[in-house]
Structure 1
Amino acid sequence: MKLKPIYAYTLFVFISLLTIFYLGQNSKIQGIIELEKAQISKRVSLDVNSLPLAEPLFNYAGNQQEVDLYIERLNKQLSESNARVTVNAISTSTPIGNSFTELQANYKTVYVSFTENNTHILSTYIVTLLITLFNVWLYRKVFAKHVENKAKRTISTEVSIKPKLIIDLYTKTLLIDGREEQQSQLANKPLCFYLAMIEFSQVYPNINLHLNKDVPVELLEIAEKYFHRLAVLGHTVRKRPNFSNSLEKTLSEIRASLDEILREFPDLKVKLYPPKAHGEGSRSKLHSYGLKQLSENDYDIRGK
């Protein structure tokens, strides 16, 4: 089962902080214990000559009761100061265990054995939890900001890269910029007429084009200009077409070619697609096949 990033991050931070706190506190505790053992050993070394310790070499049994009372008083003082070390025994015999200190006094070796308190202060680990929660909050805030910025960049990219119709005079094809795999070819006449419609709509945006009226001279001149441009580019030109004849057929060929490449771009199609007539009286003055709301950012002519 795959953990969500926030849970994995929380677990990682908590375990890492817990380990750091444990090792840090353990090291501090060991340092305190060693310091207290040194201080106790120094204190015992000052009092050892007055303690009635057993001395087997001289057949002296000593006074263990008095030694125990000394240890009791010493441990009471250590307890009042919240020491982590208490004295377990003071004797001239080698003690069992590892926690003891050797003292040299009057040609004898005195051993001071200790009891160590290595327990950790659990309340300090609340800091670990608080830091973890703060890091999780910070992570969520940063992550949310990252997602927001990423979304803004995506939107910005989508806005900046608007679809554009490419009309390529070199190949006589129509395509969407960046999608060269989908192209549509046009014959000389509909291609030149469509180019003329685009240029005419830019120069004369308020003039309507009607099927029941003559094609404007200005539009025909633009179409002728592009026809001659095709010849200059090396395309086969049999004869100069009459752009005023078979206007409906020419528009149908243009629409068919645009239908192939503008299917996924309805907003662009509204601007670049010659409107069809609908209903009764479709050939009346109310219908115009001209292009409206077209801007130079919607298309690009290669080989112009």
Structure 2
Amino acid sequence: MITLKQVSMFTLYLIIFLTIFNLSNKYTISENILRDIQSVKLRVAIDRSSLSLEDPNLNYSGDEEALGEYIYSLNEILSEQQSRVRLTTVSSKELHAKEHEVVEVLSGTTHETYLMFSVDESHKLPFYIIPFMFSLLNFAALKSIARHRVKSLKTKNIAPAEQKKPILHIDLYSKALHLSNNKEVKVQLANKPMCFYLALIEYCEANPEASLNQNKELPEELLELADKYFHRLISLGHTIRKRPNFSNSLEKTLSEIRAAMDELLANTPELKAKYYPPKAHGEGSRSKLHSYALSNITLDDVEIVGK
């Protein structure tokens, strides 16, 4: 929808370009008229001795028919050149110009010779489409630039919390992890920690209030998920070994996952709260109060390729 401000802006551009075009066109017309008049004056000056002009001293009235043919021949040439000038009179008597007429005088002989020209100083209206098109193009260009600037400012002013955060991509085909905004940095995981981490993500998403402690047995649902992903790795040709015991060496498995996350999230530590299995704090690394569950994760935070 075009606003009043935009209409005013376009009108301003149109006025500016019309003024420039009008002044430029007027100057060009004047120069062309002057050039053609000087050209005709030179031609008449060369031919003056042979022209049948009246001579008051000799009581000679001149040959009007021959003079008329001469003027006609000059105007034919001017017409072919699409000149705005036409020679109307050549006389030994003084002439006086009216509107749209110009009188020039040739000196250098006993009697001065007067030339009268009719001139067309009108502006061709079809050419005024040019300033209109320039105004339209400039208005469209500046409007596009303004729209781009507004869009850029809006993008810059978006609060960090509102910006789209990267998510974790886990590729079962390559057994690699990377963030959606940086595919160059990839971290590999061995079969067992890979399957356990995938099972942990899916289990914690389905059970956000779950508390997982290394001193307790792993939930059966978590083990089934880990087993499911291990069979998927077998089908993808990554291993032919039997299913590992995910309950054994749990601390080592978690350490491998944390090491991979430390490397992957080195430049985005704020994502650790979502993807990093928490470590125990305080006295004793196996505190009964400690849970390594991913309590902040959802399936929208992870994309699993090859699932």
Tell me if both proteins adopt one fold, taking TM over 0.5 as the criterion: yes
% identical equivalent positions: 45
TM-score under structure 2 length normalisation: 0.57
What is the count of residue pairs matched by the alignment?
228
2:80 equivalent in structure 1 = none
1:250 equivalent in structure 2 = 253
2:282 equivalent in structure 1 = 279
Structure 1 gaps of 5+ residues are 1-12, 34-52, 61-69, 103-113, 119-127
Distance 1:252 1:55, change over 3 A: same
Residues 214 and 244 in structure 1, CA contact (< 8 A), matched pair in contact too: yes
TM-score under structure 1 length normalisation: 0.57
1:25 equivalent in structure 2 = 26
Question: C-alpha separation between the residues in 2 aligned to 1:198 and 1:224?
Answer: 14
- Per-residue CA deviations over 1:162-212 (Å, capped at 9, x if unaligned) read 522222222222222364432222112111111110110121111111223
Question: C-alpha separation between the residues in 2 aligned to 1:221 and 1:31?
Answer: 95
Question: C-alpha separation between the residues in 2 aligned to 1:173 and 1:250?
Answer: 16
Residues 189 and 243 in structure 1, CA contact (< 8 A), matched pair in contact too: yes
3-state DSSP of counterpart to 2:267 = coil
- Per-residue CA deviations over 1:3-33 (Å, capped at 9, x if unaligned) read xxxxxxxxxx999767623332236668999
Distance 1:245 1:93, change over 3 A: same
Pick the aligned partner of 2:111 from 51, 73, 93.
93
- Per-residue CA deviations over 1:51-98 (Å, capped at 9, x if unaligned) read xx97111299xxxxxxxxx989x78xx7xxxx6878677999343xxx
Pick the aligned partner of 1:185 from 185, 188, 209.
188
Distance 1:242 1:150, change over 3 A: same
Residues 202 and 299 in structure 2, CA contact (< 8 A), matched pair in contact too: no
Residues 278 and 292 in structure 2, CA contact (< 8 A), matched pair in contact too: yes
The amino acid that maps onto 2:229 is Y
What is the CA distance between 1:298 and its match in structure 2?
Answer: 1.4
Q: How does 1:156-167 map to 2 (within 5 A)?
A: 162-167=165-170
Residues 268 and 298 in structure 1, CA contact (< 8 A), matched pair in contact too: no
Structure 1 runs (4+) deviating above 4 angstroms are 13-19, 27-33, 83-92, 135-142, 150-156, 158-162
Question: C-alpha separation between the residues in 2 aligned to 1:31 and 1:187?
Answer: 87
- Per-residue CA deviations over 1:216-236 (Å, capped at 9, x if unaligned) read 222122112222222222222
Question: C-alpha separation between the residues in 1 aligned to 2:255 and 2:179?
Answer: 20
What is the CA distance between 1:278 and its match in structure 2?
Answer: 2.4
Q: CA-atom RMSD, angstroms?
A: 4.7
Question: C-alpha separation between the residues in 2 aligned to 1:86 and 1:230?
Answer: 99
Structure 2 gaps of 5+ residues are 1-13, 35-53, 62-92, 122-130
